[in-house]
Amino acid sequence: MSEAGKSIHELNADLFEPEEDGRFADPREARKKAMDYLARREYGRQELIRKLVAAGFDPDAAVPAIDRLAVEGLQDDRRFVENFARSRVNQGKGPVRVQADLRQRGIDPGLIDEVLDALSADWRALAIEVRRKKFGSTLPRNFSDKAKQMRFLQYRGFSQAEIEIAIGDRGDDYD
């Protein structure tokens, strides 16, 4: 068909078709983008790879770029977990929540346990402090108050034992 027989849409179709952009397959470009992300905050390896892929980079370009950053010490899962855990503790989050958030980000469970053990946070004291900050120093006096405070602490990521200590549950009967 000659150009005269084409519609205006067919003539302009080439202008609107996306060009094949080779930069998304280039590990150097993926490294640059990863450096942009890392300049803002720490990321775990898997989280950073997912972020690059979501930005349009080919996984075959993203993985070697992140591997190179790890070798250079610019991306480090241990450093990420340490910073993340400290941040969450400062927010009043318990160990169950911290572990779940890190697993969701693709961090190795062994590394999570190792870092949380080394953090040596006093989870029981933190649970008491978080409960006190939210509900005051008076312990719950009835079942509904106790349940409400337990749900809150559970959502924050504290274990059952830590919750029982925080709410002063010694097996007492409630009104």
- Cα 79-91-52 angle, rounded to 5 deg: 45
Helix (H) / strand (E) element for 162: namely helix 160-166
* Cα torsion 138, 142, 147, 150: sign: positive
- 171 lies in some domain: no
**Contact present, 60 and 69 (Cβ < 8 Å):** no
Exposed / middle / buried, residue 143 (Cβ in 10 Å: 0-12, 13-18, 19+) = exposed
Reported as a single tens digit per residue, the pLDDT across 120-152 is: 899 999 999 999 999 999 999 999 999 999 999
Domain boundary among 60, 75, 90: 75
Tokens read off for 52: 């690059």
Query: Is 173 a domain residue?
Result: no
**pTM for this prediction:** 0.78
Q: Which of 70, 80, 65 is nearest to 32 (CA)?
A: 65
Is the pLDDT assigned to residue 75 strictly greater than 60? yes
Query: Is residue 1 included in any domain, yes or no?
Result: no
CA count, 13 A, side-chain hemisphere, 170: 3
Residue ending a domain, among 121, 136, 155, is 121
Q: Which of 37, 53, 75 is the last residue of a domain?
A: 75
CATH number at residue 35: 1.10.10.10
Rounded to whole angstroms, the Cα distance separating 120 from 115 reads: 9
> Looking at the structure, do residues 146 and 117 belong to the same domain, yes or no?
no
Same structural domain, 69 and 87 = no
pLDDT of residue 171: 46
